[in-house]
Amino acid sequence: MLYAAIRSSMVKVLLRESVHSRLRGVAFIAILAVIGLPVSAFGQQSEAGTPEFGLRLRPQNSLIDPSTRASESTPSFGIADQIYGTTDTDTILEGHAELRRAKGVLKADNIHYFQPEDEVFATGSVRLYEGGGLYTGPELHLRLDDDHGYFVAPDYAFGNNGSRGFADRINFLDREHSQLINPIYTTCPPGDYEWYLVADTMNLDQGTKEGTSRNAVIYFEGVPILASPWLSFPLSDARRSGFLPPTLSLVSTNGAEVILPYYWNIAPNRDMTIFPNFMSKRGLMMGGDYRYLEPSTKGDIRLEDIEDHEAGRNRYSATIINYWSGTGSLSGFSGYLNLNRVSDPNYFNDFSKTFAASSTRTLPRDAEVTYTTPYWYLTGRVLSYQTLEQTDSFIVPPYDKVPEFQFHAAKLDYGGFDLTLDADLTRFSSPGLIGGDRFVFNPSVSYPIVGAGYFFTPKVSYNASAYNLTDAPQGAPTSLSRNLPAFSVDSGLIFERDTSLLGTALRQTLEPRLFYVRRPFENQDAFPNFDSAIPDSNFSQLFSENSFVGYDRLADENQLTAAVTTRFLNPDSGEELLRAAIGQRYFLSPQLVTIPGGAPVNTGKSDFLALVSGQVLPTVNMDSGIDYSPTAGGMERSNVGVSWSPGQNKELSFEYRYLRSQFDQYDVSGQWPLGGGFYGVGRVNFSSRDRRVIEGLAGIEYKGCCWVIRVAAQQFVTGLTTSQTSIFVQLELNGFSQIGSSPFDALKRNVVGYQPFVTPTPSVSPFNHFE
């Protein structure tokens, strides 16, 4: 009786206010009071023990997703100019009617709620907010307990991907599924329909965040550009299974290419992409890429296969990559597997999309297992190669390592000493060449003396090597050994001062450095050369203890390196902004040990090496190194790169690469606004020695309000007399799909600092469009 009296008096008060004052009623009853809202929701016990009626609110520090709170017992609240109805039957809200519940808000001129069916019927300027979406139209029928119903002639806007549009009708099937009849769909901002999709029906699945349409046509600037009897598209950026946008391109070696990839979202940690690729000149290539990520292992398996009509044979490519780390009883173990195989030497020439890939001449097959402890590790490895020798070039195949064992141990600051030990046992094999086993044992001891502004590190090492050879020429020794000690001293000073450049406070260092190394001479002409070579000229090589890389040649060293480095640092963070250095190695006696085919070093000093890298000006960066030979009176090697980035999507770069008697190349690339929404992108890598463009790309991009179009052409050499040309055309419809062939990889690879137009990701929140 008390509950009935309270409910009756509340309804009377609200009706009285709406009839006599015509003021908008604030109805706490409204719907769920009629169907049995507990009295305790309205009344709270006072300290004196008497009930206090009225809704008492509790503060909440953050927004809570309404869907996490919604349940069958969650109350709904109504607001209207007038509220009346029949107990346990229906409630009518007239004039500026609102119905609010945990999952959403319904507004209309009139709302009629039917209690037995838990159903609402709304008419006149209906606005339904639910799950981040907003629907507006003249009429809505909706069952509240399962969200089943329909909306007549609605406009809609979805918050999860920024899409919107209108339809003849929306059928709400349940809380996650709905169907649009004769919809118009776009992601353009309100007032613009620069692109849109028209379909007979569109089904939206908010659970999988996927939309599908039947008999769909995509219009761009009012012109139909794509029609399909069935089309799927994402409602968010979450992973999902389904067909990806098709890729269309023109490639000189393959003709027209059409790729229709299918993405299979197997599990959160596993997926697979299947990409059939039809080439008008060669036929159908089937490809697949399977990826997996487990707590102790991850990997990638990629396969391609084609019956090549042009070549008249089957061709394929296979790659298996796996990394793993042991757990439990295998803790400390780790390893990787890298297997590669192609059907023929010209595979990459015909099917690769990059100059670097087309230049591949050896493919590794590599397996490794390592056991690691805090002070030492042991690695076992098997490495072999597939050599892709071409008709216009000759390749000396590298040695296979079958197997190789490496051991490294280190104990630092042991009574002030640093102790290290490196050991290597490898069996080398290569058809037609000398092979055999090599064992290297190389301990070292150093004693670092370090202060605030100086360091001085003497070091002693000992290299013991033994060889057991096979396939050696008749009369040549098959067992060889070598024992060579080495002594080195690395020393330097560090000075600092505060300075400024262009009004910016900086801290500058001046770091002179001297490095001396001594190793006696031993004739090594009888020793094979499995893996030693002259290293690339670089600044760090000035401070190495061996003038060669690899264990097969140990140079007779009696050298002093003098160098000086200056760095400019941010005085607050210590971040290095700019570095410049110059150094030279002085030979105190001739160096007689050489790589086979090389000549002894009789000069008194090496080339000058210099570098400048970092931020030269606020918008200018430089990364440059030069190798100047006083003996030859000119550059032996140089690499000068400068880039200018004055703003977003503005980038210009220049690089010059030179190596005496081998190459002389200029590389220019950039991205720059041309005005009117157009941006130009391009790159030219020109070899003045060969008088040809090694790799070139030219393209143009245009950014509309809800779409981006890209057109690009790329060409790169694949051999001494061959090249490949590709043309890319892509239309990106923001938040929906990409149509055409993607030039992204080509642009990122070719244009230094390339910045793609990033489609703003809409805020995914249940409070989008909240009113």
Encode pLDDT of 156-193 as tens digits: 988 767 788 999 999 999 888 899 999 999 988 888 88
pLDDT (0 to 100) of residue 41: 34
pLDDT digits (tens, 9 = 90+) for 206-220: 777 788 899 999 999
**Residue whose token pair is 């015909």:** 350
Residue 58's pLDDT band (cuts 50, 70, 90):
low
Give the Cα separation of 25 and 79 in Å (integer): 6
Structural contact between residues 509 and 566, judged by C-beta atoms closer than 8 angstroms: yes
Give the pair of three-digit tokens for residue 535: 């290293």
Q: Average pLDDT, whole number, for the chain?
A: 85
Decide if pLDDT at 236 tops 80: no
State yes or no: pLDDT of 371 exceeds 50: yes
Whether pLDDT at 228 is above 50:
yes
- Residue 770 has what pLDDT? 58
pLDDT for residue 74? 63
Distance CA 357, CA 338 (A): 17
Nearest by Cα to 147 from 122, 130, 160, 123? 130
Give me the pLDDT at residue 93, please: 92
Identify the weakest region by mean pLDDT among 236-250, 303-317, 499-513. Answer: 236-250
Task: Report, as an integer, the average pLDDT of 379-383.
Answer: 97
Burial class (CB in 10 A: 0-12, 13-18, 19+), 756: middle
Indicate the pLDDT class of residue 30, thresholds 50, 70 and 90. very low
Residue keyed to tokens 């081998």: 662
Q: Is residue 634 predicted with pLDDT exceeding 80?
A: yes
The residues facing 378 across adjacent strands are 371, 407
pLDDT surpasses 80 at 768: no
**The pLDDT of residue 23 is above 80:** no
Proportion of the chain above pLDDT 70, given as a percent: 87
**Res 141: pLDDT:** 94
pLDDT at 49 over 80: no
The answer to whether residue 48 scores a pLDDT higher than 80 is no
**Which of the residue ranges 109-118, 314-323, 478-487 would you say has the lowest mean pLDDT?**
109-118
pLDDT of residue 29: 38
pLDDT of residue 73: 55
661 or 28: which carries more pLDDT confidence?
661
Q: Can you give the pLDDT at residue 3?
A: 35
Q: How far apart are CA 27 and CA 55, in angstroms?
A: 11
Query: Which tens digit of pLDDT belongs to each residue from 454-497?
Result: 999 999 999 999 999 998 888 788 999 999 999 999 999 999 99
Round to whole Å and give the CA distance between 443 and 140: 84
The predicted structure's pLDDT at residue 50: 44
pTM of the model: 0.74
Banded model confidence at residue 27, pLDDT cuts 50, 70, 90: very low
Q: pLDDT tens digits, residue range 705-718?
A: 888 898 988 888 87
Q: In the block, which residue shows the tokens 């230094």?
A: 752
Instruction: Please give the pLDDT value at position 31.
Output: 39
Domains delineated in the chain: 2-58+65-152 (2.60.450), 648-766 (no CATH)
Mean pLDDT (whole number) for 731-739: 83
Q: Is the pLDDT of residue 20 over 60?
A: no
